[in-house]
Structure 1
Amino acid sequence: MRTAIVLFAFSAFASAVPVREEQADFEYPRFIQFPDGDGVLHTVDLQEEVDHNLLEEVQRNPNNNLYLLFTRRNPHTSQTLVINDRNSVLNSNFNPSHPTVVIAHGWFSNQNTDLNPVIRNAYLDKGEANVIVLDWGHLAMGDYVTAMNGVPTVGRGLGQFLGFVHETTGAPFSSMHLVGFSLGAHLVGFAGRELGGAIARVTGLDPAGPLWNSNSDHLGPNDAVYVEAIHTDGGTVGGFGIGTAIANADFFPNGGTSQPACITSICNHNRAWELFAATVSYNHLTGKECSSNLQISLNTCRGQSLQMGNDDLRKWGSGKYRVDTARRYPF
């Protein structure tokens, strides 16, 4: 991955521009900078030729994607669940009477990326849960364009895996919550779509913007019973995330373009999963519904309230919401 030449740099200070519907038509320049899971910027050529050999390998060998189970009985050491291997599930600590949450990382990341243990620990410190970390690093560690083109395949594979878990254990789809960050947000959308929208919740954490703004297959409101998106770096001039409403309920923390104590887009982008993990623990961030994007930008939203994030599987809401947060955890 080429990193030496910065051909397109995001501003160090995110501008406080209004969130605008026109972002759906925003076209990124050919060369951009996009972060990996550790917050390191890489130069991305959005016109790079797709690595079809890698895509075909992912399609042929779905077991390249790992499903790693953590529960309160094994909070730090994973158990590997394998699709179509009933014993891998039945002999594990998976409990169908507990809620199941799947965490999907973004580009150039894997099971060791920070968001996985942070979200995992938030759930397991709170109560019983089957936390499944999806490691799709075999594809995600490839170039951005190839990874982006492989998201539908990995997402559909995740949906099929959850269908297998449902058939094997009886765990209902109504007890499942899929959480994806950046490219992973669109991935979990495809997983929910594969199951006909039967999953209880899908949450997209700052869904990736490059090559997705005008892509009709991005995360959408029909991918689960309830779909939520949290936008933290959606500025119209090259933000890492999609800056417009795409879900049932869309939250724009602090306006959705720049976050308190952040001076880079990387910090803004990662704040989405940091905020989500905090809401699982405390359920303390309340959004106010906004009637326009201008209200989001000016912080004049006065509509109904809806809690952002959290682990409520019966949650539902619609509309656009602004929520103001503090500078430090738990925000």
Structure 2
Amino acid sequence: MLMSIVYLYFLLFLVTRIMCKENMCRCNVPDSDFAADVNLIYYKCNNETPATISYPITAPEELLKVLEDKQTIFYIFGYLQFPEEENVQLIMDALCYERTDNVVLLDWSKHSKGIYNKAFQNGEKVGSLFAQSLQLLVNNGLDVSKIYIVAHSLGAHIAGFAGKCNDFVIPRITGLDPANPLFYPRGCYLTSEDAAWVDIIHTDMGGYGTPPYQGTAQYFQNGGVRPQPGCKLISIPLSLTDLCSHQKSVNLYAESKRHPTKFVATRCASYIDYILNNCKDSLQTYVGYGASNIRGLFYFKTEVL
């Protein structure tokens, strides 16, 4: 049984690598009608009303007037999600915790719905818009060294455009269980070259989440596969129950924002070696918000989040 699982993931790895190498990523900016439905939402992270300010993706310069001199986290949600969705609100509340960072949400909710292949194609257009928007912000004074992108599922592949389509280097992109490319083979996906450091948290690898290859550092929560604690192995496709393991990456990151040293992972060749305590160097690192710039495969266990 174990060998069958290993073989399956090996095939997923090879097929996905081939698909990604055969497809070109394009940075063409879509038409103005499409762009009009995409916005950057700044979260004040205090008790002011209204709690957010929205800026057009094609004219984000006014955003610079409200950003404080600290790191700016851009969060990108995934397929079928929207700003008011519970899972999105969970992480936005966490990102606002103690106001340690500027917090900005990429709202592409008018293009994230419908059938998956259409949403995926829309996501690539949104990625080009997001990259252009960051370029405008940098041209007008945003410090590149203080840009940090966190993205979940299909949003992780949108995040990759920020690195692919600009002439500056994004310091860090964190992919929360990036969407599985096998759901839509032809396309442009997040890679380890899209930022100086790309860390990936796997919770539903080979299911809704991608096989392991996209990050410079990859973290496998409870082996990185379903079912995660508190989740079921299978359920109705795209139901909350079936998405449970996929969403655990968001839960974990939100918790790590509030408690940066709570989750500790060990570098190891495989999950089996980790379980058997056969990791060679036993290098450990925090997971999520508090993670450091490091490379390799890292494994850790959690209870229900």
**Superposition TM-score, scaled by structure 1 size:** 0.75
Q: Equivalent residue for 1:9?
A: none
In structure 2, the CA distance between the partners of 1:142 and 1:56, relative to structure 1 (3 Å rule), is: farther
Larger RCO (alpha carbons 8 Å, 6+ apart):
1
Distance in 2 between residues matched to 1:241 and 1:122, nearest whole Å:
22
Structure 1 residues 1-331: aligned runs within 5 Å: 17-18=5-6, 20-25=9-14, 60-73=33-46, 74=48, 77-83=51-57, 85=59, 88-91=62-65, 93-95=66-68, 97-168=69-140, 170-196=141-167, 198-211=169-182, 217-235=188-206, 239-258=207-226, 259-264=228-233, 265-283=242-260, 284-292=262-270, 294-295=272-273, 300-302=278-280, 303-310=282-289, 315-328=292-305
**1:26·1:213 contact (CA, 8 Å) conserved in 2?**
no
Give a deviation string over 1:214-257, Cα, whole Å, max 9, x none.
6673211111111011110114xxx1111323210011100011
The aligned amino acid for 2:213 is A
* Partner SS for 1:138: coil
Structure richer in helix, relative to its length: 2
The aligned amino acid for 1:319 is G
**1:205·1:272 contact (CA, 8 Å) conserved in 2?**
yes
Give, in angstroms, the shift of residue 300 of structure 1.
4.6
Distance in 2 between residues matched to 1:76 and 1:115, nearest whole Å:
21
In structure 2, the CA distance between the partners of 1:57 and 1:153, relative to structure 1 (3 Å rule), is: closer
Give, in angstroms, the shift of residue 210 of structure 1.
4.4
Give, in angstroms, the shift of residue 139 of structure 1.
1.4
Q: Name the % identity.
A: 26
Give, in angstroms, the shift of residue 311 of structure 1.
5.0
**1:287·1:307 contact (CA, 8 Å) conserved in 2?**
yes
* Partner SS for 1:325: coil
Give, in angstroms, the shift of residue 86 of structure 1.
6.2
Give, in angstroms, the shift of residue 212 of structure 1.
6.1
In structure 2, the CA distance between the partners of 1:256 and 1:76, relative to structure 1 (3 Å rule), is: farther
Give, in angstroms, the shift of residue 21 of structure 1.
2.7
Give, in angstroms, the shift of residue 75 of structure 1.
8.5
Distance in 1 between residues matched to 2:115 and 2:279, nearest whole Å:
40
In structure 2, the CA distance between the partners of 1:83 and 1:243, relative to structure 1 (3 Å rule), is: closer
* Partner SS for 1:255: helix
**Superposition TM-score, scaled by structure 2 size:** 0.81
List gaps (5 residues or longer) in structure 2.
17-27, 234-241
List gaps (5 residues or longer) in structure 1.
1-15, 28-54
How many residue pairs match? The answer is 278
The aligned amino acid for 1:80 is S
Distance in 2 between residues matched to 1:75 and 1:121, nearest whole Å:
16
The aligned amino acid for 1:254 is N
Q: CA RMSD in A?
A: 2.9
